[in-house]
Structure 1
Amino acid sequence: MTVAVLFALFTVLLIVGVPIAFAMGLSAVTVVLMFMNVPLVLLPQRFFSSLDSFPLMAIPLFILAGNLMNVSGITAAIVRFASALIGHIRGGLAQVNIATSLMFSGISGSAAADVAAVGSMLLPAMKKEGYKPEWSAVITAASAILGPILPPSLLMVLYGAMTGQSIGTLFLAGILPGLVIALFLMALTWWKADTIGGQKHSRATKAEIGRAFLAALPALVLPVLIIGGIQSGVFTATEAGVLAVVYALLYGFVTGKLGPGLAWHHLRDAAIATSSILIILGGAALFSWIIAREGFPAQIAEALTTLTSNPYLALGLIVVALLILGMFVETISALILVTPMLAPIGAAYGIDPIHFAIVTIISVLLGSITPPVAIILILACRIGGVDYAKVIRPFIPYFLIILAGLVVITYVPAVTLAVPRLFAGYGG
C-alpha cells in the first residue's frame, strides 16, 4: 500500500510538471507523514547522508575537465585526426563523426557534452559537404551515447557511488561495449552511405596522419592516465578528476585558448550542473529509502523469480523496462531512480554486478535518444537546425543497430568482463 501510494504520487507530480528531484522528495515526505511512524528528523539525515560520498566529488571535476578540454581546441584536433584516419572510407564525415565521439568520450563522460562539442563542429561541415541534415543529426545523437559508456563516465561514477562497486572496474568494463557499439554504428553508416549523402575524400598520407595524431595526443593520453592511475592504486577516481582538471587547465593555458575568465565561467557551469545532480540524488535517497524499508526490491525479485528462474530472461525483461523508462525520464534521473531497486534483483539472480551495471547504464542511455523525450536527439537537431519530426524515420535503423549491440553486450558477459579480468584481475 505504502509503495503504491508513493509511486502514484510520484507519477502525478511528474505529469503536472514538477521536476523529478522534487517529485521524488515530495512524494516521499507525503508518504512518511501519512503512513510511517518514524521521526521526521530521519528525512534530512537520509537526504544529506546520500550526498556525503567521496566518489561523488569526481562528478564536478570530470564535468569541468571536459568543458575545459573542449574550449581549449582539443575537439578540433580530434576531428582532424579522425578525418585523417578514416575520412576516406565509405561514409566520409559521417564516419568521422562517430570516430570523433569515440575519442572525445574519453574526455567528456557525458552524452550532452559529446553532442554539443562534436555536433557544433561537424554538423555545419557535413551540411556544407552535402550530407542530409536529418541523417547527420541522427548520427551525431546516436554516437553521443558513447560518452557515458567509455571511461571516464559520469553515470559510472554515480552507479559506483550508489552501489559500492569499484568505479575503476566499471570504467574498464565500459571499454569493449563502447567499441562494439561504435563498430555497429560505423557498419550501418557504411551501408547507408549513399542515402546519407556527402562527398568522397582522398586518403590522407602517413605524414598527415602522424601530424594529426600528435595534435590529438593530449586528448588520447588523458583517459589512459586516468584509468592507469586508478587501477595501479596511484589515485582514486575522485583524485583522477583533479588530475583531469589540472591537465585541462595546463593544456588550455599552454595553447593560449583558455584564460582566467573563461576558466571561471566553466567552473561556475560545472558547479550548477553538479548541484542539479545532487538535488536529484537527495530526492532519490528519500524515495529509495521508503522503497527499501518496505521491502519492494525483494518483492520485485520474488515476482520475477516466480515468473522465470532464468537470469537471461529476467535480464531481458529488465532491459525492456529500462528502455521504456529512459524514453520518458532523463538519463541521470532514471539511473538514480532505478539503481537502488534493480541492483539487489541482479544479485538475486546471480548476475555479475559489473556486467549488470553496464547493461543498466546502456539500456537507460538508449532510452535517452528514443522519442518522445529523446533529449540528446533534440539537442542534435537544435545544433544542426533540423526539424525534429524529420529525424524520426532515419533514427529507426540507428536505434535498431544500437539495440543489436545492447543485445550482444547483455547476453555475452565477456564483452563487459574481459577487460576488467585482463587488467584489474577482476574475479567476477
Structure 2
Amino acid sequence: MTVLLLFAVFIVLLIIGVPISFAMGLSAVAIIVGWPGVPLLILPQRFFSSLDSFPLLAIPLFILAGNLMNVSGITHAIVRFATALVGHIRGGLGQVNILTSLMFSGISGSAAADVAAIGSMLLPAMKREGYKPESAVVITAASAILGPIIPPSLLMVLYGAMTGLSIGTLFLAGILPGLVIAGLLMAFTWWKADELGGKRHERAGFSEILVSLKQAAPALVLPLLIIGGIQSGIFTATEAGILAVIYALIYGVFTGQLRFTNTWHFFRESAIATSSILIILGGAALFSWIIAREGFPAQLAAALTSLTDNRFIALGLIVVALLALGMFVETISALILVTPMLAPIGAAYGIDPIHFAIVTIISVLLGSITPPVAIILLLACRIANVSYARVLRPFLPYFGIILAGLIAITYLPQITLFIPNFLTR
C-alpha cells in the first residue's frame, strides 16, 4: 500500500509539471512525513549518504574533461580523420557523422554533447553536400546514442556507483555493443545512400590519413589511457577522471584554445550539470529507500517469475518497459529510478550483472531518442533548424536498426561479455 501511494504521489507531481528530480524526492518526503515511527532525521541522512561515494566524484571530472576537450578543437580533428577514413564510402558525410560519433564518444560520454559538438559542425556541411535536412538530423541523433555506450560513460559510472559493480568492467562491456550499433548504422546508411541524398568524397591518400591521425591522436589516446589504467589497477575511475581533466587542460593550452575566460565558463557549466545529477541522486535515494524498506523489488521479482521462469522472456519484458519509460523520462533520471528495482530482478533470474547493466543502459538510451519526448532528436532538429514533425518518419528505420542491435545484445550475452572475459582471464 505504501509503495502504491508513493508512486501515486510521484505521478501526480509529474502531471502537474514538477521536474522528475524533485518529484522523486518530494513524493518520498510526503510518505516519510506521514509515516508513523520513522524519524524525520532519516531525510537528510539518506539524502547525503547516497552522495557520499568516492566513485561519484568521477562524474564532474568526466563532464569537465569532455567540455574542455570539445572546446580545444578536437571535434574538427576527429571529423577530418573520420572523413579521411570513410568519406569515400557510399553515404559520404553520413558515414563520417557516425564514425565521428563513435570516436567522440570516448571523450564526452554524453549523447547531448555528441549532438551539440558534432551536429553544429556536420549538419550544415551535410546539407550543403546534398543531404536532405531531415536525413542529416536523423543520422546525427541516431549516432549520438553511442556517446553513453562507448567508454568512458557517465551512465556506467552512475550504474556502477549504485550497484557496486566495477566501473572499469562496465566500460569494457560497452565497447563491443557500441561497435555493433555503429556498424549497423553505417551499413544501413550505405544501403540507403541514394535516398538520403549524400555524395562520396574522394578517397584520401595514405599521407592524408596519417596527417589527420596525428591531429586526432590526442583525443583517441585518452579513452585508452582511462580504460587501461582502470583495468590494470593503476588508478580508480575517479582518479582516471582527474587524469582526463589534466590531460584536457594540457591539450587545450597546447593548442591555444583554452584561456582563463572560457575555461572558467566550462568549470561553471560542469558544476551546474553535476549539481542536477546529484539532486536527482539524492531524491532517488529517498525514493529507493522506501521501495527497498517495503520489499518492493522482491515482490516485483516474485510477480515476474510467477509470469515466466524463462530469463529470455523476462529480459524482453524488462526491455519493453525500459523503452516505454525512456520515452517520457530523461535518461539519467530513468536509470537512477529503475536500477534499484531491476538489478535484484536480474540477479533473481541468474542474468550476468554486467550484461544486465549494459542491456538496461542501452534500453533507456533508445527510449531517449523515441518520440514523443526524444530530447536528442529535438536537440538535433534545433541545431539544423528543421521541423520536428519532418524527421519522425525518416527516423523510424534508424530506430529499427538500433532496436535490432539492442535485441542482438540482449539475447547474445557474449557481445557484451567477450571483451571483459577476454581481458580478465
Residue matched to 2:106: 106
Query: How far has the Cα of 1:312 moved from its partner?
Result: 0.8
Partner Cα separation in structure 2 for residue 175 and residue 285 of structure 1 = 29
The amino acid of 2:244's aligned partner reads A
Residue matched to 2:281: 281
Contact 1:53 1:161 in 2 (8 A): yes
Contact 2:90 2:199 in 1 (8 A): no
Q: Give yes or no for the alignment of 1:318 onto 2:299.
A: no
Query: How far has the Cα of 1:260 moved from its partner?
Result: 1.5
Unpaired runs of at least 5, structure 1: none
The worse-fitting range, judged by mean Cα deviation, of 20-29 and 78-87 is 20-29
1:174 match: secondary structure? helix
Residue matched to 2:362: 362
Query: How far has the Cα of 1:424 moved from its partner?
Result: 2.8
Residue matched to 2:67: 67
Residue matched to 2:169: 169
1:389 match: secondary structure? helix
Query: How far has the Cα of 1:37 moved from its partner?
Result: 2.4
RMSD over aligned CA atoms reads 0.7
Query: How far has the Cα of 1:154 moved from its partner?
Result: 0.1
Residue matched to 2:133: 133
Q: 1:348 to 1:261 in 2, by over 3 A?
A: same
Q: Give yes or no for the alignment of 1:240 onto 2:240.
A: yes
Q: Give yes or no for the alignment of 1:342 onto 2:346.
A: no
Contact 2:335 2:364 in 1 (8 A): yes
2:302 match: secondary structure? helix
Partner Cα separation in structure 1 for residue 305 and residue 43 of structure 2 = 33
Deviations 1:148-194 (A, max 9, x none): 00100000000000000000000000000000000010011111111
- 1:283-298 to 2 correspondences below 5 Å: 283-298=283-298
Query: How far has the Cα of 1:262 moved from its partner?
Result: 1.1
Unpaired runs of at least 5, structure 2: none
Q: Give yes or no for the alignment of 1:373 onto 2:373.
A: yes
The amino acid of 2:28's aligned partner reads A
Q: Give yes or no for the alignment of 1:396 onto 2:396.
A: yes
Partner Cα separation in structure 1 for residue 141 and residue 169 of structure 2 = 27
Partner Cα separation in structure 1 for residue 413 and residue 262 of structure 2 = 43
Deviations 1:322-347 (A, max 9, x none): 00000000000000000000000000
Query: How far has the Cα of 1:406 moved from its partner?
Result: 0.2
Partner Cα separation in structure 2 for residue 375 and residue 285 of structure 1 = 25
Query: How far has the Cα of 1:36 moved from its partner?
Result: 4.4
Query: How far has the Cα of 1:222 moved from its partner?
Result: 0.4
Report % sequence identity: 78
Partner Cα separation in structure 2 for residue 126 and residue 115 of structure 1 = 14
1:50 match: secondary structure? helix
Contact 1:169 1:424 in 2 (8 A): no
Q: Give yes or no for the alignment of 1:90 onto 2:90.
A: yes
Partner Cα separation in structure 2 for residue 244 and residue 143 of structure 1 = 24
Query: How far has the Cα of 1:199 moved from its partner?
Result: 2.2
The amino acid of 2:127's aligned partner reads K
The amino acid of 2:224's aligned partner reads V
Residue matched to 2:157: 157
Partner Cα separation in structure 2 for residue 150 and residue 198 of structure 1 = 26
Give the TM-score normalised by the residue count of structure 2. 0.99
1:198 match: secondary structure? coil
